[in-house]
Amino acid sequence: MALGSESQAATTADPSCPPFPLLEDDGGHIHEQEQEVPSGAELELPTVDLDAPGEALAAACRGLGVFRLANHGVPASLSARLFATARAALAGAPFHDKRAQPGYFWGTPALSLRVRDVNWVEGFHVALGGHQQPAPGPPLGDLLDLAAEYGAHMARVARALFDALAAPLGLGADQAATYLAERDGFLRVYRYPRCPEPGHLGMEAHTDSSVLSVINQDAVGGLQVFHDGAWRDVAPGAGETGTLLVNLGDMARAISGDAYCSVRHRVAASQAAERLSLCYFAFPQDDAVISCAGGRYRPFTYAEFREQVQADIKATGSKKPVGAPLAGPHGTVTVSIAGANAFNMVLSWTV
C-alpha cells in the first residue's frame, strides 16, 4: 500500500520507529495486516477490591476473565516514575540504538522466533526474580532498577489474587505453591507509537499463556476484548495512577478445568497518540505438574507447554486458534491454547 506524503512525513519525523510499512525486515518478519480494526462498543469491566476480593473475584474469573483491580497498593509515584523512564528509553531513543539493547523487541514480543505477522509495537522484556541481565547505562539501566522494585509489588499482588481465586478450586498446598512462581515472572514494557496509517493492529488477537497478567496502562485507549462474538473497547480507566487491569491466561484456564476464562484480547494502533503499558506476567514453576479436578486435561508441566509452543511457532510462524477442536488419534480430542508471547500448546483429554 502506497503511503501519502503526510504518512511519510510522520514516519520520517519519528526516528524512534523503523520505516513503514514493515515488509520483510532483516529479522525475517512479514507484515500482513491490511485489515480494518473497527472500534466496538465499550465493555464495562467488573472491579475487584484486593483487600476483599470475595465473590466478585470468582465471578469475574468465571465470566469475562478480565477485571479492574482496586486497592492494589502499588505506589502511584512508582508507576509514574516507571512510565516516565520507559518513555525516555523507548520514545526518546533512535530505533537503531534500541535494537542493540538486551531484551528489546519490535513487531513481536517473541524475541528470537520468526513470526508471520508483525505488529505496530515495540518494547523491552525484563526478567524479574533471580534472573541476571546485563547492566546498561541510562535510561535503560534506570528502567531495570525501577522494574525490580515494581516487580516486587506485582509478585505480592499476583500471590494475593492467586490464593483467592485458587481457594474455590480445592488446590492442595503443593499445587497452590507451584502453580504460581510469582517472583520469577517478567515485565514487558510496551510502546505503541503513532501509526502512519489507520486500520492496523498494535498487537494481534491472542490469549496470554500466563496464569494471570497485570496491566498498568496510560490514559490512551486501544485495548479491545472479544466478548459475545464482537470486539469491544476497554476504557483505559484512571490512567497511570488508578486501578490496574488483570486478565487470566491459559494456565488459569487449564488449572480450573475451563471454569475460569482465558480472555482473548488485542490492541488497535492509533494515528492520534502513542500508547504505553506495563504488563507483568506470572507463570507456574517449570516443573509444576498442571492438572485439574475431573481430569479435564492430561497432566503436563509448564516446561512442556513452553517447549511445544516454541516448536509450533518455529514450524508455522503463528499460533493456533484458541480452543480449536482437532481430530486426534484413538478417540482423543485436542484443544489449542494460545499465548500472549506467541506461546501455545496442545492439551488432550480422552472422550
Could you tell me which residues come within 8 angstroms of residue 101 by beta carbon, excluding any fewer than 6 positions away? 124, 136, 140
Is residue 318 within 8 Å of residue 304, measured between CB atoms? no
pLDDT at 200: 86
Span 333-350, average pLDDT? 34
Q: How far is CA 59 from CA 15, 45, 62, 99, in A?
A: 46, 12, 5, 43
How confident is residue 116, by pLDDT bands cut at 50, 70 and 90? low
pLDDT at 81 over 90: yes
- Give the DSSP letter of residue 42: B
Is 2.60.120.330 the CATH number for 39-323?
yes
pLDDT at 91: 93
Is residue 116 within 8 Å of residue 98, measured between CB atoms? no
Domain coordinates in residue numbering, the chain: 39-323
How confident is residue 35, by pLDDT bands cut at 50, 70 and 90? very low
The better pLDDT of the pair 5, 166 is held by: 166
* Radius of gyration in angstroms for the set of CA atoms belonging to the chain, rounded to a whole number: 20
pLDDT at 348: 30
How confident is residue 102, by pLDDT bands cut at 50, 70 and 90? confident
Span 63-72, average pLDDT? 95
pLDDT at 151: 96
CA-nearest of 192, 205, 218, 188 to 270 is 192
CA torsion angle 38 42 46 47 (round to 10):
100
CA-nearest of 342, 283, 275, 282 to 123 is 275
pLDDT at 106: 87
Give the C-alpha separation, 4 to 145, whole Å: 42
pLDDT at 264 over 80: yes
CA 46, 242, 206 angle in degrees (round to 5)?
A: 55
Mean pLDDT of the chain: 78
Span 264-286, average pLDDT? 94
CA 178, 324, 314 angle in degrees (round to 5)?
A: 70
% of the chain residues with pLDDT over 70: 73
pLDDT at 101 over 80: yes
How confident is residue 344, by pLDDT bands cut at 50, 70 and 90? very low
Least confident of 4-8, 106-110, 149-153, 171-175: 4-8
- Name the residue with cell 469475574: 60
Give the C-alpha separation, 63 to 55, whole Å: 12
Span 279-293, average pLDDT? 90
pLDDT at 137: 72
How confident is residue 147, by pLDDT bands cut at 50, 70 and 90? very high
Grid cell at residue 257: 478445568
pLDDT at 329 over 80: no
- N-to-C CA span, the chain: 48
User: How many alpha carbons lie under 13 Å from residue 28 in its C-beta half-sphere?
Assistant: 8
Least confident of 2-6, 102-106, 270-274: 2-6
pLDDT at 322 over 50: no
What are the two backbone dihedrals, phi and then psi, of residue 163, each rounded to the nearest 5 degrees?
-60, -35
Task: Please give the full DSSP string across 252-293, using - where no structure is assigned.
Answer: HHHHTTTSS----EEEE--SS--EEEEEEEE---TT-EE--T
pLDDT at 26 over 50: no
pLDDT at 141: 85
**Considering the entire predicted model, what is its pTM?**
0.83
CA torsion angle 27 85 225 128 (round to 10):
80
pLDDT at 149: 94
Q: How long a stretch of residues is the chain? A: 351
Question: For 5-60, where are the E strands, in sequence order?
Answer: 47-49
